[in-house]
Amino acid sequence: MGLSARLLLLTIFFVMLCEVLLFVPSIARYRLVYLEQKLAASHLAGLSLDATPDRMVTAQLTSTLLRHVGAHAVGLYEEGKLTHNLMVPEMPAVDREIDLRDDTFLELIGDAFDTLAQRRNRILRVIGPSPKDASVLAVVVIDEEPMGAEMFEYAKRILALSIVIALVTASLLYLALQGLLVRPMRRLTQRMVGFRPDAPGADVPPGLRGDELGRAEAALTSMQEELRYAFRQQARLAALGSGVSKLGHDLRNILSSVQILSDRLADSTDPEVQRTTPRLVRAVDRAVALTQATLDFATERPAVKPGRFLLVDLVHEVGQDTVVMGEEGFRLTTVLPPDFAVEADRDQLYRVLGNLVRNARLAGARLSEIGAARGPAGVSITIKDDGPGIPETVRPKLFQPFNTGRPGGTGLGLAIARDLVEAHGGEIRLVESGPEGTIFRIDLPVSGAIPAVR
């Protein structure tokens, strides 16, 4: 049941549905015309009485006239008086009377289907103005079975014609859609299914169509080219990251040795050594920090192991371990209730808050404040400082790696923080930043929404 077959079946179905909607009034119209023809024939048969001197005809002629009309009795009324009358000797009992003067459109449709549903012959008395002379009221008594048989034959002809029309229309529409829609869609689908970003580019160039499918083909070609380029870039970055990760471990060990030696130089009494050693120590510290941050970013994100703990204790630990609380001229405060608990991975949230506080201190802030609030969706943690703010040029790519507005910064702290928060199923964003300070907000979901493994 591909797209072509479905289009074919839907076309046949809708054409047949239209034919049914046309058949309903047409079968009612056919029955009305049949009855009007009977009234016209009865009018002509009744006028034959005017050809006789005493307005009487023989029984044989009466039978012949009624047989041609297909009726048991005929009567003509003018100004409410019976003027012409023909009747068989043994008149059958009338089962139903039909007055065409009062029938509405819906009643005609209902009567038509009532006739089709009959399984026995009913005797009908039909009353209506004569089609030959509207001033004459004609009355005719007929059998219903012949009319039903003709209506069935008409219905069969309509059905056969509908089937032919449906098949012809569906075939033409099928061929048109096959060339205009189905084949291009099939080619587009095959290109999408068979696309491999690591395979050489062998895509069929888009055609010259200017419609929606032509634009879709052009967009697909452009997207495939971009994906192949991105895949190549990703492969190069993956190889570079693997190499950097391996070199980083060795480099960190080398820098650790250099750091030990620089600490020993600080104990020297040589004035020249005392003058140059602080710059050397700062350079080594920056190199160690850059190496560690790069390794942290290159390392695959660990699984989230949520647990319940007090946020005040974590903030206090961040202040102690990052040497922020005790550093002269800088304070880390909190407005948290002492019993405010969160459910998250404690180690990962520690790294997130530590990176944000450390960035604020290094940017020149003198005060950093951590607060939190609980809502129906989870917990929101705010980190506010009084630093100089984040430059406008840095904000669009704030959470991208190696994007920093501070000299000597690695640009990895916020990228790592974003990855760790997203591992919890949460979100970190910059609320505002200006000369008065910067505010970050971390939204963590309820514990049941935290992914077990990322």
User: How far apart (Å, rounded) are the C-alpha atoms in residues 91 and 433?
Assistant: 105
User: How far apart (Å, rounded) are the C-alpha atoms in residues 294 and 309?
Assistant: 29
Handedness of CA 249, 250, 256, 259 (dihedral sign): negative
Confidence at residue 451, expressed as pLDDT on a 0 to 100 scale: 47
Confidence at residue 161, expressed as pLDDT on a 0 to 100 scale: 85
SS3 74: strand
Confidence at residue 306, expressed as pLDDT on a 0 to 100 scale: 85
Secondary element (H or E) of residue 226? helix 212-265
Task: Take residue 162 and report the two structure tokens written for it.
Answer: 């509908």
Task: Take residue 301 and report the two structure tokens written for it.
Answer: 């994100």
Confidence at residue 138, expressed as pLDDT on a 0 to 100 scale: 92
User: How far apart (Å, rounded) are the C-alpha atoms in residues 91 and 88?
Assistant: 6
Confidence at residue 178, expressed as pLDDT on a 0 to 100 scale: 76
Confidence at residue 381, expressed as pLDDT on a 0 to 100 scale: 93
List domains and CATH numbers for the chain: 3-168 (no CATH), 231-295 (no CATH), 300-449 (3.30.565.10)
Cβ burial of 62 (10 Å; 0-12, 13-18, 19+) is buried
Residue ranges in the chain modelled with pLDDT below 70:
1-3, 54-55, 198-210, 236-253, 255, 259, 262-263, 266, 273, 279, 281-302, 321-329, 402-411, 447-454
Confidence at residue 204, expressed as pLDDT on a 0 to 100 scale: 52
Determine how many CB atoms are found less than 10 A away from the CB of residue 170: 20
